[in-house]
């Protein structure tokens, strides 16, 4: 091997180390192929802990010379993806994150969500870590900039379609019916692209100029529309959680190590706001070689990124930093800075990212960490309620009744934040007389949890529709079964406050909080499911009633009677005047009702 070193060129390039079977063990890049490859075989060389065992299997070294270091970076990335070498540091995260796609190659571009990039010429924005975030982004965008989200194949003109609901609620200008021309629509698309790129200042400036121009020409209706749009843009910007003194686009990277594994966290700051954060695991790393690990992460993370910020803040140096900077600048289309801060705001952000990466590694070691795709609302719910882990199974309960008739209970289930409809259950109230919602909730929970104990299917969290009273009744059911440690909360309808057992003060979340939305949806689903069962029983009673035997009493009159009195027993004891108060009941029919029910007595 040593004799061949002299034949290696001194130019930049990529080298592939192979075993005797020709399998690629390692792919590396170099500013000088000759010097880099020779360093592995010199007697004074001290290879890292991964290279040391690898060298025993290296039988051949191939190389590919490149014209510059940037090309070497790109080629190394491609070869690592192709061969998946055993001894390369590799980004373990292989999931596809969702992107926002704008089909700018079409006459009327549309906004859509995709997990796969293509070569169609469309623009991609992202990635977004959570699907909920991308849905909220689309919702806010279409309020501010009416852009179509449908899948229609539109031409520049003569489109024969009818407008949909989005047009009527001002979230689409109706290109499907030729209600806007491509040039006017193109201005909307440009604003959307600027907004998604983080250039909100330019968007606001353009809208303000259009508002002033419309006002100058006395077109006050158009000026008012631009004013409202400006307000919505400002509100969308203000929704971000963290403001910084900078208005720049930055990615802040921190890395923590644990043996041969590392975790990198990226804080994504856009227009001075912390937009998102995400962590990635790397394997086959050496904590003594942070330069190599960081270089591998930067290369693999930004290889397919649709957006590269102006500044990338790093915890330490990378290999071939100038080549990486040029490569990123070429991908971005303008200059990109690699910055290693020593103090100040950026250093604090790097330390925050590194600390979070360390915590994630520690959690992973104890099997507490959850994959990035997990519902963030469940994780926040864990923190709010001091649970040991995010609640994977949540059961929601509600009671529905009309007086003392047709009282029922419902149980609906969320598993990993999604409805598990096959797990839904409904209950007829058996032991409670009269309208006592607390006692009914006690019965339903007692029956459900008794079965859960027998089947070993206890939930991670119980949600009760109601405030302190309903929650207290539910807690009594838990205590009777020695389940007082089972997490349970109540959601009061009026102010949407969350109540916990033994605490007088509720948890109050903002109305736009995703965690509140999650439990609201569960509560509403429990209410819907209970009400549907209640109506089914009531409808069945209407169709099979003692009233059927009374002449001139059809379905409408049966329904009117039961809605008015609530039960057959109440109708039986009603006076003639009370019966006449029901719509559609005449003197003759009222007399028939009293006569018939009196004859049937209690068996009616």
pLDDT in tens, 185-220: 998 888 888 777 666 676 677 778 878 888 888 888
Q: What pLDDT is recorded for position 413?
A: 93
Strand partners, 16: 27, 62
* pLDDT, mean over the chain: 80
Q: Which of 223-227, 475-479, 529-533 has the highest mean pLDDT?
A: 475-479
pLDDT in tens, 459-483: 999 999 888 888 988 999 999 998 9
Phi–psi pair at 553, nearest 5 degrees: -110, 105
Q: What is the mean pLDDT of residues 19-41?
A: 86
Is the model more confident about 69 or about 541? 69
386, 403 contact by CB (below 8 A): no
Q: Residue 94: which pLDDT band, with cuts at 50, 70 and 90?
A: very low
Question: Does residue 139 surpass a pLDDT of 50?
Answer: yes
Q: What is the mean pLDDT of residues 115-129?
A: 69
Q: What is the mean pLDDT of residues 306-315?
A: 86
Q: What pLDDT is recorded for position 371?
A: 41
Question: Does residue 82 surpass a pLDDT of 50?
Answer: yes
Question: Does residue 237 surpass a pLDDT of 60?
Answer: no
Q: Residue 2: which pLDDT band, with cuts at 50, 70 and 90?
A: very low
Residues near 574 by Cβ (< 8 Å), separated by ≥ 6?
Answer: 565, 594
Q: What pLDDT is recorded for position 402?
A: 66
- Which residue shows structure tokens 């409904």? 426
Residues near 7 by Cβ (< 8 Å), separated by ≥ 6?
Answer: none
pLDDT in tens, 490-511: 998 778 899 999 888 888 888 7
Q: What is the mean pLDDT of residues 255-277?
A: 78
354, 252 contact by CB (below 8 A): no
Q: Residue 395: which pLDDT band, with cuts at 50, 70 and 90?
A: very high
Q: How many helices (H) and strands (E) does the chain have?
A: 19, 19
Is the model more confident about 498 or about 270? 498
Q: Residue 394: which pLDDT band, with cuts at 50, 70 and 90?
A: very high
Q: What pLDDT is recorded for position 124?
A: 78
Q: Residue 397: which pLDDT band, with cuts at 50, 70 and 90?
A: very high
Question: Does residue 602 surpass a pLDDT of 50?
Answer: no
pLDDT in tens, 571-600: 888 888 898 999 889 988 888 888 888 776
DSSP state of 389: S
Question: Does residue 234 surpass a pLDDT of 50?
Answer: yes
Is the model more confident about 203 or about 240? 203
In this structure, of 45-54, 283-292, 505-514, the range with the lowest mean pLDDT score is 45-54
Q: What is the 3-state secondary structure (H, E, C) of 314-352?
A: CCCCCCCHHHHHHHHHHHHCCCCEEECCCCHHHHHHHHH
Question: Does residue 239 surpass a pLDDT of 80?
Answer: no
Q: Residue 363: which pLDDT band, with cuts at 50, 70 and 90?
A: low
Q: What pLDDT is recorded for position 367?
A: 42
Residues near 106 by Cβ (< 8 Å), separated by ≥ 6?
Answer: 154
Q: With pLDDT > 70 as the criterion, what percentage of the chain qualifies?
A: 82
19, 87 contact by CB (below 8 A): no
**In angstroms, how far is CA 12 from the centroid of its own chain?**
43
Q: What pLDDT is recorded for position 467?
A: 85
Is the model more confident about 51 or about 42? 42
Q: How many CB atoms lie within 10 A of CB 77?
A: 20
Q: With pLDDT > 90 as the criterion, what percentage of the chain qualifies?
A: 14
Q: What is the mean pLDDT of residues 426-450?
A: 87
Is the model more confident about 222 or about 132? 222
Question: Does residue 233 surpass a pLDDT of 80?
Answer: no
Q: CA-to-CA distance for 80 and 76, rounded, in angstroms?
A: 6
Coil, strand, or helix at residue 283? Answer: strand
Residues near 292 by Cβ (< 8 Å), separated by ≥ 6?
Answer: 48, 89, 285, 286, 319
Question: Does residue 447 surpass a pLDDT of 70?
Answer: yes
In this structure, of 38-47, 90-99, 173-182, 591-600, the range with the lowest mean pLDDT score is 90-99
């Amino acid at each position: 091997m040593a004799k061949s070193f002299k034949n290696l060129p001194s130019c930049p390039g990529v080298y592939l180390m192979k075993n005797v079977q020709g399998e690629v063990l390692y792919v590396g890049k170099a500013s000088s192929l000759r010097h880099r490859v020779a360093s592995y075989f010199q007697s004074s060389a001290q290879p890292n802990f991964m290279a040391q065992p690898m060298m025993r299997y290296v039988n051949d070294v191939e190389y590919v010379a490149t014209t510059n270091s940037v090309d070497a970076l790109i080629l190394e990335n491609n070869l690592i993806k192709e061969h998946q070498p055993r001894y390369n540091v590799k980004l373990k995260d292989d999931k596809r994150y969702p992107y926002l796609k704008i089909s700018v190659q079409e006459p009327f571009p549309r906004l859509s969500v995709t997990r796969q990039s293509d070569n169609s010429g469309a623009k991609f924005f992202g990635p977004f870590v959570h699907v909920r975030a991308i849905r909220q982004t689309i919702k806010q965008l279409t309020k501010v900039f009416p852009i179509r989200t449908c899948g229609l194949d539109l031409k520049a003109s003569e489109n024969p379609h009818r407008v949909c609901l989005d047009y009527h609620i001002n979230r689409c200008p109706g290109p499907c019916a030729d209600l806007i021309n491509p040039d006017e629509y193109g201005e909307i698309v440009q604003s959307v692209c600027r907004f998604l790129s983080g250039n909100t200042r330019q968007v606001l400036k353009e809208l303000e100029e259009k508002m002033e121009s419309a006002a100058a020409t006395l077109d006050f209706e158009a000026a008012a529309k631009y004013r409202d749009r400006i307000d919505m843009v400002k509100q969308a910007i203000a929704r971000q959680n963290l403001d910084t003194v900078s208005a720049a686009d930055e990615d802040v990277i921190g890395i923590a190590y644990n043996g041969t594994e590392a975790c990198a966290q990226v804080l994504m700051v856009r227009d001075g706001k912390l937009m998102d954060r995400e962590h990635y695991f790397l394997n086959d790393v050496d904590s003594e070689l942070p330069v190599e690990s960081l270089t591998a992460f930067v290369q693999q993370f930004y290889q397919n990124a649709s957006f590269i910020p102006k500044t990338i803040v790093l915890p330490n140096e990378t290999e071939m930093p100038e080549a990486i900077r040029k490569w990123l600048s070429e991908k971005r289309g303008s200059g990109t800075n690699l910055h290693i801060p020593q103090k100040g705001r950026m250093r604090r952000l790097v330390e925050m990212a590194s600390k979070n990466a360390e915590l994630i590694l520690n959690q992973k070691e104890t099997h507490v960490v959850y994959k990035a795709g997990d519902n963030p609302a469940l994780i926040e719910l864990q923190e709010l309620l001091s649970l040991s882990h995010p609640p994977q199974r949540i059961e929601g309960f509600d009671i529905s009744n009309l007086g003392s008739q047709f009282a029922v209970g419902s149980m609906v289930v969320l598993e990993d934040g999604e409805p598990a409809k096959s797990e839904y259950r409904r209950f007829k109230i058996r032991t409670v007389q009269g309208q006592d919602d607390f006692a009914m909730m006690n019965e339903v929970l007692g029956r459900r949890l008794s079965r859960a104990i027998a089947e070993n299917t206890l939930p991670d969290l119980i949600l009760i529709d109601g405030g302190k009273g309903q929650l207290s009744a539910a807690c009594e059911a838990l205590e009777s079964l020695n389940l007082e440690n089972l997490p349970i909360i109540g959601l009061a309808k009026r102010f949407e406050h969350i109540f916990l057992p033994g605490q007088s003060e509720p948890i109050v979340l903002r109305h736009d909080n995703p965690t509140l939305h999650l439990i609201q949806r569960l509560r509403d689903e429990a209410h819907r499911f209970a009400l549907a069962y209640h109506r089914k029983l009531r409808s069945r009673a209407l169709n099979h009633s003692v009233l059927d035997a009374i002449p001139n009493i059809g379905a409408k009159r049966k329904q009117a009677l039961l809605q008015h009195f609530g039960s057959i027993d109440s109708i039986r004891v009603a006076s003639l005047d009370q019966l006449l108060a029901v719509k559609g009941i005449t003197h003759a029919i009222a007399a028939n009702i009293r006569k018939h029910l009196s004859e049937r007595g209690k068996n009616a």
